[in-house]
Structure 1
Amino acid sequence: MNGSDVVETINLAPDAGLVKSLGANHTLESAIADLVDNSLDAGATKVAVRLLTDSERLVQVEVFDNGTGMDSAGVDKAMTLGHQREYSDNDLGHFGIGMKAASFGHADVLTVWSSRYGAVPVGRRIRRSDFSKDFSCEVLSDDAASNAEVQRKRVIGADRGTSVVWSELRGAYRGANTTEARTWIANAERSLRSHLGVTFHRLITKNALDLEIVVDELEYADEAIGTPVEAIDPFGYASSGHPDYPKAVVAESGGRQVVLQCHIWPPKVDITGFRMSGKPGNQFQGFYIYRNDRLLQVGGWAEVANPSIQRQLARVVLDDETAIGSFLTMNPEKAGLRFEPIFRDALDHAAAADGTTFDTFLKDAETRYVEGNRRISRRRPVITPDKGFAPKLRRSIERELPLIHTDALNLQWKRLPDDEFIEVDFGNSTLWINSRYRYLFAPERGSLNDAPVVKALLFLLAHTVFEGAHLGPKDKDNIALWRAILGAAVKAEEEMRGE
């Protein structure tokens, strides 16, 4: 190759048509997480995510933050495709396309309102159809930007900050079935809450991020109260499943090294953190890769090991941002990483201080799973809880136990003789509780779903009685026993309280 071959240099601007492919790999959850990243990079400590509906169909998504905000020049740069500002080591942004890709993966219109200290509030809008022709962006009026600032302050309590709004959504439920629409939005909220809870669990736990979600009709959204996103720790077990773990295994190549913190979950533990997003824990074995306390990858072995049921207790933390760019390559969606050949080679020679290799760790996890499940037994199906059970209690029972859907059990109050606390009404599948003592367990009264603790205990005690075809001698004896003991117990409870 000879430099004398060059006759001129020309600039080849990107074709605007590439906009049509932006965000193609983004899920709704990963796209909104990307917007939260931008908020954090702007110094936000509070972020409100709003899923707004019309006739129970999702029509608008909004993300408000209390970050530093942007002036006119800043928002123009933010709306420019591929603009890469000066990223600090602590920033979560990386490619300069995050907001655009996240937004156009799910919406045809992106509107951004922002207010920065000492600057006039600003607003910009990009329509995907126009942007894909000539990268055009609409400049919105100062009055509209000021109104958006007032709305953001009402929602998030801050003058400064940014509001990102998606409208003309694609991919949300559009059918005529209202029940299906409700189910879709409920599932979308549940998945989003879980994804954000695990992605930002470290920041939420450290109180560095107050993150909330609102789901409401668009007309009433500004009066709605957000529900906080709870942290979901994928390493939140009470005690390790193996006495020798967690353990640091060091992988090294070319003079660079990365520390892998290897964990083994306890067997037969099925709590949130082990299972996530309604999926069983065996789907979350593998690597958990963090960058600035933001979780970039939730499990998966990335072809350096094979997933298996026996390895479901094995999870590995990689918390070294210098590994990204050398051992690992991050994709624009920040939803998983590519493991470079250098990392795979380094794993072959990785070892802990005591000589434990990565392969040994995998074998230890497999052994612990097999040992822990030798005595496991399957839970038998139980009768479906119905009237009298609070929705959260019903959902908890449904998560923990398989259900018999042919019949349902009601737990309800009615007046019984003073020396009785319960009455079994087998024919009507109802366990009656003496309303004479309702004030002891539900002082507020009036709610069909009150006293969830008492009802949960009664359900666990008596559900088997209602699952048979008839009451046998053993059932009748148990009922007599329960009535005698619980009748005496509730009287003692009343006396102890001085009633």
Structure 2
Amino acid sequence: MEFEVMPPGPQLMESMRAVGYSLKTAIADVVDNSITATATAIDIRFSAEPGNTFVSISDNGTGMDAAGVRHAMKLAGRNSTSARNAGDLGRFGLGLKTASLSQCRVLTLISKQDGVLVGVQWNLDHLAESGQWQLYVLSDDDLLGLSHTRYLDDKASGTVVLWEEIDVSDPDHARFTEDFTAKMADAKEHLALIYHRFLEGEDGQKISISLNLERIEPADPFLRNNRATQSGHKELIRVDGGEITFRPYTLPFINKMSAKERAQAQLNGPLRDNQGFYIYRAKRLVIWGTWFRLVSRSELGKLARVQVDIPNTLDHLWALDIKKSAASPPPAIRQALRQVIDRIIQPSERAFRHKGVIDDSRQSVMRTWLGLSSREGFYYQINREHPLLENLAEQLDSEQRLALDTALKAIESSFPVTDAYVKLTGDQPQKPPETTETALKDLATEYWRQWSAGGGSAEDFINGFKAAEQFSRCRDIHALLTEVTELGVMQ
């Protein structure tokens, strides 16, 4: 048997452009390299002007020497199974090349180490014309002629990745500048999310990332700064010599979120589509908003999110892809998560089922609307035993009671269930009822006027309304109702 060396043709580079990177995921892959190089400041700049379109990503990391930049531009320059430092965000040794060349036709890498500046360049058009794997090595004059080298002037070490001849959008299109700028704005939001733990300075390792000199603020998907967010206990799963930790969070109701928090929590869609596991690899978010088919998404579970931390030593188990944008848990982890997933979702479900009830130690709440079921489905009916309705009915004759019942049935038949469902699933905030002491007191006063007009006693009024749903948020409804009746008597 004989063996013959069959090196790939340079057109392989063109084929690799179709891996599936978007502009934002491509930029993130380059930022990964900066973080791995222990950079604390990452500066992203771009121009969307036709004929002068570029993206540059510079950092103050450790930098590389001449051999280092050549190795960095080599396809699969590192084995994916090689041991890595705990903070290494790399995987296959392909990210810099595949990510960059998926967006541009000219990739330039400039680096500085020990005061020495070096640079190399891949040019896809040159590869096609020459038919050979020819990496262009930049001379000192070439480097001086590149304006982007100035980003390293004030740094002891660092690296610049420069994309030119960007062709992800048609540069001749009339809306090119607007479209490309919009994509960069989308990239900014993406970076704010996936690197939020680095931007927050978790464990004291704070990193600054800026886009066209504007600092990117972290976007925490768990809204941990909101006092209404519920945090569960951190739990540990050991598998194949590694440790995976997870911590569940229950987001606040959308009414308790600011407009900024609402946008932050909705990510790329409604809350319902963003529930589930948030997988972090070395603190970098790689995939989010999925239950891995362990359980179905539900409206009651839409506030449930779980932070899952995996070390890069378990990449082989999670089937992490080249773009680091997809991962699938191994059977052992799936089984462990399946055992606790119900417990993880329960706080979100309880929050919806018991929304608005503060003191469950009181007697059962007297609901205004009753949810009922039949063979045909569910429906809602006004509670005819509500003390307000019972008192009103006692003041009416039989014909008036019939008219009242007819009016109530008309209201019940037009209950806007579908409209309410559409609004709630679309995360539209519900206008909350007034729950201040003054508002509840005014409401109780109106009820007392009607009650007393029919000859009802103060004692019956207090006993009848202390369990009414309208006052379920009041911590001492007995005292409030007593005060209302006493004031009414004095008046």
Task: Give the TM-score range, shorter chain.
Answer: 0.5 to 0.7
Q: How many residues in Structure 1 have an aligned counterpart in Structure 2?
A: 353
Post-superposition offset of 1:8: 4.5
Inter-partner Cα distance in structure 1 for 2:33 and 2:54: 19
Change in 2 beyond 3 A, CA 1:54/1:364: same
* Cα shift at 1:251: 4.7
**1:125 maps to which of 118, 121, 133:** 121
Tell me the distance in 1 between the aligned counterparts of 2:217 and 2:229.
27
What is the aligned counterpart of 2:197 among 183, 196, 202? 202
Give CA-to-partner distance per residue, 1:64-116, whole Å, 9 cap, x none.
11122222111111111111177423211121101001011111111111221
- Give the equivalent residue in structure 1 for 2:135: 137
Deviation at 1:33, TM superposition (A): 0.8
| Match runs of 1:48-447 below 5 Å | 48-54=43-49, 59-84=53-78, 87-119=84-116, 121-131=117-127, 133-148=131-146, 151-154=148-151, 157-172=154-169, 174=171, 176-177=173-174, 180-181=175-176, 183-206=178-201, 208-214=206-212, 226-239=213-226, 245-251=231-237, 258-268=244-254, 269-270=256-257, 271=261, 274-275=264-265, 279-321=269-311, 324-325=314-315, 327-349=317-339, 357-372=340-355
- The separation in 2 between residues aligned to 1:400 and 1:308, in whole angstroms, is 17
Secondary structure of the corresponding residue to residue 328 of structure 2? strand
- Report if aligned partners of 2:275, 2:301 keep a CA contact under 8 Å in 1: yes
Find the residue that maps to 1:158 and give its secondary structure: coil
**How far does residue 36 in structure 1 lie from its aligned partner after superposition?**
0.8
Q: Secondary structure at the match of 1:19?
A: helix
Give the secondary structure class of the aligned counterpart of 1:62: strand
CA contact (8 A) 1:58 1:172 kept: no
Shift of 1:315: 0.8
Instruction: Determine the C-alpha separation between the residues in 1 that align with 2:219 and 2:153.
Output: 23
Q: Kindly provide the amino acid, as one letter, of the partner of residue 347 in structure 1.
A: L
Residue 135 and residue 300 in structure 1: after superposition, are their counterparts in 2 closer, same or farther (change >3 A)? farther
Q: Name the residue aligned to 1:40.
A: 35
The offset of 1:247, in angstroms, is: 3.0
In structure 1, C-alpha distance between the alignment counterparts of 2:241 and 2:118, rounded to whole Å: 49
Give the TM-score taking structure 1 as reference length.
0.62
- Contact map agreement 1:65 1:156 (CA 8 A) in 2: no
| 1:88 aligned counterpart, secondary structure | coil
Tell me the equivalent position of 1:18. Answer: 12
Cα–Cα, structure 1 residues 197 and 272, in superposed 2: closer, same or farther, change >3 Å? farther
CA contact (8 A) 1:68 1:117 kept: no
Q: CA deviation at 1:194?
A: 0.8
Offset of 1:260 from its aligned partner?
A: 2.0
Quick check: 2:48–2:181 contact (8 Å CA) kept in 1?
no
Hey, what's the Cα distance between the residues in 1 that align with 2:140 and 2:177? 37
Matched with 2:414 is none
Tell me the distance in 1 between the aligned counterparts of 2:52 and 2:126.
23
Indicate if the aligned counterparts of 1:52 and 1:60 stay in contact, CA closer than 8 A. Answer: yes
Any conservation in 2 of the 1:114–1:145 contact (CA below 8 Å)? no
The amino acid of 1:295's aligned partner reads: L
Task: Measure, in 2, the Cα distance between the counterparts of 1:371 and 1:96.
Answer: 51
Deviation per residue, 1:388-410 (Å, 9 max, x gap) = xxxxxxxxxxx9999xxxxxxxx
Q: Residues 240 and 47 of structure 1: is their aligned pair in 2 closer, same or farther, counting only changes over 3 Å?
A: same
What's the CA shift for 1:155? 7.1
Q: Which runs of 5 or more structure 1 residues have no equivalent in the other structure? A: 1-6, 215-225, 350-356, 382-398, 403-499
Identical aligned residues as a percent: 26
Q: Give unmatched runs, 5+ long, in structure 2.
A: 358-368, 370-416, 431-491
- Give me the whole-angstrom Cα distance separating, in 2, the residues matched to 1:146 and 1:68: 21
Equivalent-residue separation in structure 1 for 2:222 and 2:138 (angstroms): 46
CA distance in 2, matches of 1:107, 1:71: 24
Q: What's the TM-score once normalised by structure 2's chain length?
A: 0.63
Structure number with greater Rg is 2
